[in-house]
Amino acid sequence: MKKFILSILSLSIVSIAGEHAILQKNAEVHHWSYEGENGPENWAKLNPEYFWCNLKNQSPVDISDNYKVHAKLEKLHINYNKAVNPEIVNNGHTIQVNVLEDFKLNIKGKEYHLKQFHFHAPSEHTVNGKYYPLEMHLVHKDKDGNIAVIGVFFKEGKANPELDKVFKNALKEEGSKVFDGSININALLPPVKNYYTYSGSLTTPPCTEGVLWIVLKQPITASKQQIELFKSIMKHNNNRPTQPINSRYILESN
């Protein structure tokens, strides 16, 4: 009887250990990254919810002259100001700033609300194959959950004081902190807001489609030191490769 009980306990321990190993393996499978076997080319395989990543209207794209159409587009109506005491998050994939205020973007008859902005280096979108060293995405949602993202390119040049507030206060490892101060989001936008627009997706899993993309044509500047600081925190490039344009076109404002 004693041997039988010990045998049952031994089998239970092995079973629990095996189940733990399976759970660990599943957790690893669902973890996505920008490199290696869990990189962009395999995102759709990591989780059934990531099926979008293999569909036809994905982002980012190359904003090529071959697919651009000049159009009389409405001006951007943006209602931003200073984000006070925002949360700055290093989530291992980017540095993200969560905004508490109700900043609005009005376009195509809809009102979107800014939720957060984050950064990619090098840029995710390209223009005729050209990468910029840094790109910012301002992510908005409307009352129905529809997403609109404004993309802003940074070229190397004069330092941007608002970037310092973000990058110098971001944790070097994963985690978040509340910034004791304000960040002027308007100072992270170019003065001229002509733009490209197209229908795409989120550029990270689950790669959900139906995203309204608005990529500002005019870049602004960040210093080499600011760009290098961001890259040193990320420890790797965090841009998804450009995706096929397929049957889409890109509208360009004059």
pLDDT tens-digit series, residues 90-137: 999 999 999 999 999 999 999 999 999 999 999 999 999 999 999 999
* One pLDDT digit (tens) per residue for the chain, 254 residues: 444 444 433 434 333 333 333 333 333 445 899 999 999 999 999 999 999 999 999 999 999 999 999 999 999 989 898 999 999 999 999 999 999 999 999 999 999 999 999 999 999 999 999 999 999 999 999 999 999 999 999 999 999 999 999 999 999 999 999 999 999 999 999 999 999 999 999 999 999 999 999 999 999 999 999 999 999 999 999 999 999 999 999 999 97
Is the domain spanning 44-253 CATH 3.40.50.300? The answer is no
Instruction: Report yes or no: 76 and 214 within 8 Å, Cβ to Cβ.
Output: yes
Which ranges of the chain would DSSP assign to H, the alpha helix? 2-30, 43-46, 161-167, 224-234
Question: Annotated binding site for Zn(2+): which residue ranges?
Answer: 118, 120, 124, 137
CA dihedral 164, 223, 117, 45 (to 10 degrees): -120
**Residue 100 corresponds to which tokens in the numbers above?**
């508490």
Q: Would you please indicate which residues are annotated as catalytic (active-site) residues?
A: 93
Distance from C-alpha of 148 to C-alpha of 125, rounded to nearest angstrom: 15
Q: Which two tokens stand for residue 20?
A: 């733990």
Residues making up the binding site: 118, 120, 124, 137
